Chain A
């Protein structure tokens, strides 16, 4: 094993499947992989995905990018896509990043409160947060582990470790639904379960646990303006006194995806500016 940083953290030539590839965090994860000469299979639901992968194809070449637009809530269609990919690709990295942050999942609407959460909003969180990751783990991870090592990276959240503080959201339009916390905590358990049961077959499963990374970049349902008081409140709660920039997950992603973390499995890697330590 080479101890030179550029070899140690190398993902060159590896194929990575990333779900939620065009979201605020997802697209930065994909770019990180592409910038480091990995191949990306970008899976997502929205039309934004096609624009993003078209741009990446232009920059990194058609060989580097494979796009699969699929409604992941349609379990049959989603598993068919995963089956097809597992049969035709040698995937070494799986990044379970997708989560529905829209109003139907209870984000920033009354159906996102503990009092008002609907069955549909619960199911969207649990489906997106746990089932999607479980299906890629089973269909892709399960097939790939016969061929060699696989690194599964589940993107969780600090809200899987600690609860949102209601003071943060007081008087504002933002609401973080209870299903999100429940799902992200469940995802951490799935991570450990996978790590435990598939450890001997060369599969590593770890969670990447981001703290406050508000989407101040574009106009998605989960976007927030830079000068919104929510952002100021988030900054105040971290030890570093600021929110994270999505680029600040790149190092952790490369660490988890590469051989640099070859003895690490079942771990929750927390990148939260110190949110959970005070």
Chain B
């Protein structure tokens, strides 16, 4: 691998590391020679992930909504490695159309404000707190990568989530919190990029499109029609972007949003 893409010996914290893409980000770091630290509220999942990833990867419980646990994690990382080079802010609730209980509880009119608040707590406040706890320890030349979404650029097309036979006012929807969180992450990325520019820390974000994860065939068929490449992403297709953004290969890039969505937002 070209030296500029190398993460040899670099310690990279991944929040939400036990999730579908969190694991991929960890694998990307490991492939490039780095040491991923897998953080998640699901410690069992995080440990499984670390075991699967190898390369000196290890796991620890971390709740991005609880700054105290983040400080403990930071202390442990410094104890074990004496350094932290990069942070991938990946933790987020990704509410499905039926996540808030009954299907139509995701609709704007019925959505419990407690769910919206929780979406913001994890997806936005969590990025803020992880960035300030970990980012403060990252040395010059380090990198923060925030994970946004194609839904930071476009609105969910609610027609994709319709269920046949369900009355109009009860159709489940992709809830508003996710769109707001991801759009906010793009703004936070730009803000952090200028805030820490003088410390030599770069902050960028990655906006992935939908990933193949066993979704119903009918949903997939409708979704891929909206994607120029005609398919959803394979989980491993963001690894290259992660390595690029974490490494010196992107040393003059900061505050940007790298969109990898099969072209969904270009037509």
Contact = CB atoms under 8 A, between A and B. Distances in A.
Contact of A163 (B225, B226, B266): B266
Interface residues of A, number: 10
A167 B228 CA distance: 10
A181 to B, nearest CB: 10
A278 interface: yes
A276 B228 CA distance: 15
A142 interface: no
Assign chain B's interface to a size class: 10 to 19
A232 to B, nearest CB: 15
B267 A163 contact: yes
A277 interface: yes
Interface stretch (B70-78, B106-114, B124-132, B152-160): B152-160
Contacts of A164: 267
Contacts of B266: 162-163
Interface string B150-168: 0000111100000000000
Contacts of A239: 155
B126 to A, nearest CB: 26
A278 B157 contact: yes
Contact of B156 (A162, A274, A278): A278
A239 B158 CA distance: 9
A2 interface: no
B219 to A, nearest CB: 15
A276 B154 CA distance: 7
Interface string A261-278: 000000000000010111
Interface string A143-166: 000000000000000000011110
Nearest to A275: B267
**Chain A facing B: main interface SS:** loop
A165 B154 CA distance: 16
A221 B156 CA distance: 35
B267 A162 contact: yes
Interface in A124-183: 162-165, 167
Interface string B174-205: 00000000000000000000000000000000
Contacts of A276: 154
Contacts of A165: 228, 267
A167 B225 contact: yes
B267 A277 contact: no
A167 B226 CA distance: 9
Contacts of B154: 276-278
Interface string A207-230: 000000000000000000000000
Contact of B155 (A162, A163, A167, A277): A277
Nearest to A276: B154
Nearest to B156: A278
| Residue among A164, A274, A277, A278 with the highest chain B CB neighbour number at 10 A | A278
| Residue among B156, B226, B228, B267 with the highest chain A CB neighbour number at 10 A | B267
Contacts of B226: 278
A278 B155 CA distance: 5
A162 B154 CA distance: 12
A101 B97 CA distance: 43
Contacts of A277: 154-155
B161 to A, nearest CB: 12
B6 to A, nearest CB: 36
Interface string B190-233: 00000000000000000000000000000000000110100000
A274 B228 CA distance: 19
Interface in A240-278: 274, 276-278
A162 B264 CA distance: 10
A191 to B, nearest CB: 20
A34 B7 CA distance: 66
A164 B266 CA distance: 9
B260 to A, nearest CB: 17
A164 B265 CA distance: 11
20 contacts: A162-B265, A162-B266, A162-B267, A163-B228, A163-B266, A163-B267, A164-B267, A165-B228, A165-B267, A167-B225, A239-B155, A274-B155, A276-B154, A277-B154, A277-B155, A278-B154, A278-B155, A278-B156, A278-B157, A278-B226
The 3 closest A-B pairs by CB, nearest first: A278-B157, A163-B267, A165-B267
Given A162-B266, A165-B267, A277-B154, 4 more contacts: A162-B267, A163-B266, A278-B155, A278-B226
